């Protein structure tokens, strides 16, 4: 049946039974594709019927559907003309795992970060009103995203302006009680029936006309009515914000959802539809462990086991998690904070070991950072672990609440650099730039897992704010020192000496630089290789000494070239008045890098051993080029 669906209009020819069979086929396609490619499994399996009901009632792309976060849009993509391309999901050159307007007119708004849908939807609704147009706008937001403050800011504004807007709250945590559900559906129909509103006004006017006691009786009835509504009507919070509340509705009952969406569409003003779904529905391993299967790598469908490369070393995330537990045993002042990602950041280990010192604040990065500032002001040593891309949401808090007061908050940025298949919304390409410009901030990037351990201790011993960032995925497999020792603040490490040029590398690019230097030596080019370790403060004495000595610098970083580590080196040379040094910078070019495997994207940006060798040969004026020339992501 899925092969016959080329646009949402094709859903109109299906009865409820046909839609249910289509839902089963969509689930199977999602399971098979994610098993092969990796992706967001559980959230997508949970919204199949919800997606079909939305597209059955609303006429996309004329009506606008905005998916919050966007990791539940797979069924939407399949029925909006991308069915044939679905097996390319998250592959380089294939379709994105998130809504992307460049892909389809049905993807109205690009999403990837949480809690933005209601704001975007309200903006589209107001644009519609200003232009005198007539179409529906629907925001689909999960209960997890509702922990983000931005969602409530938007709800508050939407209730104030009273324009036509539909918010679908996809709640996959609460169970549904048939009695409460039936009562809620009845009251929803009653409250949105025009006859109800008219009758209510007429009764109020009649009561007020009763001589002497009429106004008091009317007020008493109103108080009793409100008290009863608070007792029996769910969603009064949303009604107080100015929304008409419909639900809760079984999110896997197509007939019920189609009916309530039709009702919502015909209702004037802002409406909130509360839909109850089961995350991972249709695939038992995902139903039993929705957190594990929220975002997953390729896996075996029969067993549900994620496929791992044999002998793969532990990830940076795992090493960080274990190290923090080790340090937490030594120092009771260490506390850990996450924004709804305890397992994703490795803090689940700390939470298990020290539950009283662990805080999961939900999807609220701003609060997480300022909570850390408050704990630091109270004498603790908070570690705030957030993906690099998500920490961008708390920028003012880093400046105003942490750095301005010079508080000892340690920011741990997982997924620094190119993350791979999740694409542009999730790459951590800007953290060096947005952190190194802030006074009092220390910025570090480890070259391997052992250095990560040492940097974490260094940050926790530092009397002010410090940040360390590391890449996604497996580490280098290097041995770990039994005793963790701190690093001297702001000091680089010279890995090898050479007189022809200096390669300044930071973080994940250090192993590549060392390998490239070995290849260059075979070509008669002697390179000094420096592991910078610190983006701020730079080891100025070391950098200047080798810059003057070799007169050629090659900087390498898994970060945007604009404002990054290479830019900091250029600033240093300019500030010290050092001239006559040729500098080439390798990094991520000035564009948003799309999705694909991390190895593919690194090659796309020129961050490979081969490209590093070629850039070095060009810098020293060699006429030969090794291993195929590719100078993407290079600025001289």
Query: Do 412 and 462 reside in the same domain of the chain?
Result: yes
Burial of 230 (0-12, 13-18, 19+ CB in 10 A): exposed
- pLDDT at position 231: 47
Query: Do 465 and 517 reside in the same domain of the chain?
Result: no
Asked whether residue 531 is domain-assigned, the answer is yes
Domain end position, chosen among 469, 485, 505: 469
pLDDT along the chain (636 residues), means of 10: 95 96 97 96 96 98 97 97 96 96 96 96 98 98 89 95 96 48 46 54 64 67 56 71 91 96 97 94 93 90 87 94 98 96 95 97 94 98 98 98 98 97 96 98 98 98 98 94 97 97 98 97 96 98 98 98 98 97 97 96 96 96 59 61
Specify the residue for token string 């403060």.
537
pTM for this entry: 0.89
| Annotated catalytic residue within 64, 100, 279, 552 | 279
Known active-site residue 393: yes
Specify the residue for token string 């100015």.
242
Asked whether residue 474 is domain-assigned, the answer is no
Query: Do 124 and 258 reside in the same domain of the chain?
Result: yes
Query: Do 410 and 557 reside in the same domain of the chain?
Result: no
Nearest to 362 by CA among 327, 395, 393, 404: 393
- pLDDT at position 177: 31
Asked whether residue 231 is domain-assigned, the answer is no
Query: Do 499 and 465 reside in the same domain of the chain?
Result: no
- pLDDT at position 279: 93
Q: Is 560 helix (H, G, I), strand (E, B) or coil?
A: strand
Query: Do 405 and 507 reside in the same domain of the chain?
Result: no
Known active-site residue 365: yes
Q: Do 509 and 558 touch, CB atoms closer than 8 A?
A: yes
The CATH number covering residue 409 comes to 3.40.50.970
Query: Do 460 and 552 reside in the same domain of the chain?
Result: no
Strand locations in 112-199, DSSP E? 137-142, 165-171
Two tokens at 37?
Answer: 């490619």
- pLDDT at position 191: 47
Domain end position, chosen among 452, 469, 486: 469
* Calpha distance 446→316 (Å, rounded): 10
Asked whether residue 306 is domain-assigned, the answer is no
Whether residue 511 has a cis bond before it, omega within 30° of 0: no
β-pairing, 582-588 vs 634-635, is antiparallel
- Cα–Cα separations (whole angstroms), residue 19 to 37, 41, 250, 378: 26, 21, 16, 57
Asked whether residue 235 is domain-assigned, the answer is no
Query: Do 452 and 499 reside in the same domain of the chain?
Result: no
Q: Is 67 helix (H, G, I), strand (E, B) or coil?
A: strand
Query: Do 84 and 43 reside in the same domain of the chain?
Result: yes
Give the domain extent around 520.
495-635
Domain end position, chosen among 423, 451, 469: 469
| Annotated catalytic residue within 27, 82, 128, 393 | 393
Known active-site residue 279: yes
φ, ψ (nearest 5 deg) of residue 60 = -75, 140
- pLDDT at position 193: 57
Asked whether residue 62 is domain-assigned, the answer is yes
Asked whether residue 489 is domain-assigned, the answer is no
Query: Do 118 and 167 reside in the same domain of the chain?
Result: yes
Number of domains in the chain: 3
Asked whether residue 203 is domain-assigned, the answer is no
The CATH number covering residue 612 comes to 3.40.50.920
Query: Do 369 and 403 reside in the same domain of the chain?
Result: yes
| Annotated catalytic residue within 29, 365, 451, 557 | 365
Query: Do 420 and 569 reside in the same domain of the chain?
Result: no
């Amino acid at each position: 049946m899925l092969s016959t669906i080329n646009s949402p209009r094709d859903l109109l020819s299906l009865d409820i039974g046909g839609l249910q069979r289509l839902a089963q086929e969509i689930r199977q396609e999602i399971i098979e594709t994610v098993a092969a490619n990796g992706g967001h499994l559980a959230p997508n399996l949970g919204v199949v019927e919800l997606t079909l009901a939305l597209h059955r009632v609303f006429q996309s792309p004329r009506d606008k559907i905005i998916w919050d976060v966007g990791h539940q849009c797979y069924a939407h993509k399949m029925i909006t003309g991308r069915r044939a391309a679905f097996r390319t999901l998250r592959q380089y050159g294939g379709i994105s795992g998130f809504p992307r307007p460049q892909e389809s007119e049905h993807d109205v708004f690009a999403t990837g970060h949480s809690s933005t849908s209601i704001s975007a939807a309200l903006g589209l609704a107001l644009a519609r009103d200003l232009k005198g147009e007539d179409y529906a706008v629907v925001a689909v937001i999960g209960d997890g995203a509702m922990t983000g403050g931005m969602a409530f800011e938007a709800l508050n504004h939407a209730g104030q302006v009273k324009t036509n807007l539909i918010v679908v709250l996809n709640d996959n945590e609460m169970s549904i009680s048939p009695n409460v559900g039936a009562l809620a559906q009845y009251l929803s129909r009653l409250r949105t029936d025009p006859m109800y509103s008219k009758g209510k006004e007429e009764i109020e006017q009649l009561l007020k006309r009763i001589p002497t006691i009429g106004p008091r009786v009317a007020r008493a009835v109103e108080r009793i009515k409100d008290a009863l509504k608070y007792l029996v009507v769910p969603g009064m919070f949303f009604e107080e914000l100015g929304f008409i509340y419909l639900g809760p509705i079984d999110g896997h009952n197509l007939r019920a959802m189609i009916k309530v969406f039709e009702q919502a569409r015909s209702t004037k003003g802002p409406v909130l539809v509360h839909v109850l779904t089961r995350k991972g529905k249709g695939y038992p391993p995902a139903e039993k462990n929705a957190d594990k299967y929220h975002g997953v790598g390729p896996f075996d469908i029969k067993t549900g086991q994620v496929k791992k490369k044999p002998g793969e070393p532990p990830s940076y995330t795992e090493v960080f998690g274990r190290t923090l537990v080790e340090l937490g045993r030594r120092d009771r002042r260490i506390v850990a904070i996450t924004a709804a990602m305890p397992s994703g950041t490795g803090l689940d280990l700390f939470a298990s070991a020290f539950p009283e010192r662990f805080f999961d604040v939900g999807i609220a990065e701003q609060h997480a950072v300022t909570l850390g500032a408050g704990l630091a002001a109270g004498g603790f040593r908070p570690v705030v672990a957030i993906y690099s891309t998500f920490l961008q949401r708390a920028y003012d808090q880093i400046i105003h609440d942490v750095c301005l007061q010079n508080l000892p908050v340690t920011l741990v940025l997982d997924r620094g650099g190119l993350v791979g298949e999740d694409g542009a919304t999730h790459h951590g390409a800007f953290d060096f730039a947005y952190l190194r410009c802030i006074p009092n901030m220390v910025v570090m990037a480890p070259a391997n897992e052992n250095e990560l351990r040492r940097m974490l201790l260094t940050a926790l011993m530092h009397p002010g704010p410090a940040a360390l960032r590391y890449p996604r995925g497996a580490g280098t497999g290097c041995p770990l020192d039994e005793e963790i020792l701190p690093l001297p603040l702001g000091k680089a490490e010279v890995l090898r000496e050479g007189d022809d040029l200096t390669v300044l590398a930071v973080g994940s690019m250090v192993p590549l630089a060392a390998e490239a230097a070995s290849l260059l030596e075979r070509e008669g080019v002697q390179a000094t290789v420096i592991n910078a370790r610190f983006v701020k403060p730079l080891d100025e004495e070391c950098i200047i000494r080798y810059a003057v000595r070799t007169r050629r610098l090659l900087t390498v970083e898994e970060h945007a070239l604009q404002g990054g580590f290479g830019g900091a080196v250029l600033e240093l040379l300019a500030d010290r008045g050092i001239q006559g040094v040729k500098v080439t910078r390798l990094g991520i070019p000035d564009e948003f890098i799309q999705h694909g495997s991390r190895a593919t994207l690194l090659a796309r940006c020129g961050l490979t051993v081969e490209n590093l060798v070629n850039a070095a040969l060009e810098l020293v004026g060699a006429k030969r080029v090794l291993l195929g020339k590719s100078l993407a992501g290079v600025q001289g």
